[in-house]
Amino acid sequence: MNMLDNRLILVVGATGGVGQLTVAKLLAKGYQVRVLSRSETKTKQLFDDRVEVCIGDIKDINSLTQAMDSVTDVICSVGTTAFPSSKWELNLSNPWDSMMGYLNPKQLGKKAKNSPLQIDAEGVINLVKSCKNIQLERFVLVSSCGVLRPNQFPYSILNLFGVLYAKKQGEDYLINSGIPYTIIRPSRLIDGPFTSYDLNTLLQAKTDGEQKVVIATGDKINGQSSRIDVANACVECLSSEQTKNKAFEIINQGERKDTLDWNKLWELL
Ligand SMILES: NC(=O)c1ccc[n+]([C@@H]2O[C@H](COP(=O)([O-])OP(=O)(O)OC[C@H]3O[C@@H](n4cnc5c(N)ncnc54)[C@H](OP(=O)(O)O)[C@@H]3O)[C@@H](O)[C@H]2O)c1
């Protein structure tokens, strides 16, 4: 029997940039894949019938129960924009709320429906809570560089509306849950698909996955991270004991000369 036959991976955020690539890589490796998505149409368009689909929203814990049935691993790459955008589903029809929101940016997320506070903090916490009664092999969470230094430039800018605080809340809840975890912290994401509205997306720097992968711990490195390599890391760490209960940063830097050896990278953790 193939070792992967009994692993059923739930991908949350599968319609996003990293998520799409993660699903593709999982399927290529022979894993069974289920995705949790808010949109059946979007999911069908992307993956046809190659994955099982559960409709749910991480803000609603009751919508997550069915997706967890028989799952062995969860990969979560959900996210929203760091700065207010249509993805936040803000209703600023009340001008007073709007003004107060902008005077106190970190409060603005509370007025939204899908801001980092609701997704990266409360949503991730909901997801972890719904896994508590199942025996998970691994919960992989895509977080962000800067969570341990939100007041340092340039993270202080990224964190103007509190995204790094929200990500840290999600991380901490997972770490303290007792579920075996791996936290992957990319820097500015590059390499398509480009789905977010931030500066780096507009600049659209491209490595095509050709730069060397650098991983580190302690949140000290800066750079840019290929979505392709972040997705690969999400999948590769599932079969590595060395990545269990670890958090690490991942960036791309320098020329990639040799074939990527993930096991060698994991030795650095
Ligand atoms: N962009 C950067 O430079 C950067 C830097 C560091 C870390 N990160 C993090 O890296 C991860 C992947 O980034 P990305 O750019 O690939 O993400 P993305 O393309 O923005 O995708 C986000 C995903 O989250 C899903 N989602 C949003 N709200 C949801 C909700 N309420 N319930 C269920 N799913 C929801 C979206 O689903 P829909 O299709 O339904 O909207 C989508 O699948 C994110 O955690 C992001 O914060 C990004």
59 lines ligand 1 (CB under 6 A): yes
- Tokens 């029809």 sit on residue: 93
Q: How far is CA 74 from CA 33, 187, 201, 246, in A?
A: 10, 21, 27, 15
Q: Is residue 3 part of a domain?
A: no
- The total number of structural domains that make up the chain: 1
In a domain, 1, yes or no: no
Cβ of 189 closer than 6 Å to ligand 1, yes or no, is yes
pLDDT in tens, 111-130: 888 999 999 999 999 999 99
Mean pLDDT along residues 228-256: 95
Does a structural domain hold residue 16?
yes
Query: Would 153 be classed as within a structural domain?
Result: yes
CA pair distance 28, 22, nearest whole angstrom: 10
- In tens, the pLDDT along 11-62 reads 999 999 999 889 988 998 999 999 999 999 988 888 888 899 999 999 999 9
Q: What is the mean pLDDT of residues 129-148?
A: 96
* Per-residue model confidence (pLDDT) at position 209: 60
Q: Taking the CB of residue 251, how many other CB atoms lie within 10 A of it?
A: 23
Q: Does residue 14 fall inside a structural domain? A: yes
Task: Judge whether 2 lies within some domain.
Answer: no
Protein residue whose Cα sits closest to atom 15 of ligand 1:
17
Ligand 1 atom 5: residue of nearest CA: 188
Q: Which position has the higher pLDDT, 216 or 28?
A: 216
96 is in which domain, residue-wise? Answer: 8-266
- Six-digit token pair at 30? 């022979």
Q: What is the mean pLDDT of residues 129-140?
A: 95
What tens digit of pLDDT does each residue of 168-195 get?
A: 999 999 999 999 999 999 999 988 765 5
141 contacts 182 by C-beta, under 8 angstroms: yes
Is 180 inside any structural domain?
A: yes
pLDDT of residue 49: 84
Average pLDDT over residues 230-238: 96
We report the CATH number of the domain holding residue 181 as: 3.40.50.720
- Looking at the chain, the whole-number percentage of residues with pLDDT higher than 90 is 69
E-strand stretches of the chain: 8-12, 32-37, 52-55, 73-76, 138-142, 181-186, 188-190, 211-216, 224-226, 246-255
Rounded to the nearest whole angstrom, what is the distance from the C-alpha of residue 58 to the centroid of ligand 1?
A: 12
Q: Token pair for residue 64?
A: 């997550």
**What number of CA atoms fall less than 13 Å from residue 230's CA on the CB side?**
35
What's the pTM value of the predicted model, to 2 decimals?
Answer: 0.93
**Does the residue 121 lie in any domain?**
yes
- How far is the C-alpha of 20 from the C-alpha of 13, rounded, in Å? 8
3-state secondary structure string across 34-95: EEEECCHHHHHHHHCCCCEEEECCCCCHHHCCHHHCCCCEEEECCCCCCCCCHHHCCCCCCH
The verdict on the CB of residue 166 being under 6 Å from ligand 1 is: no
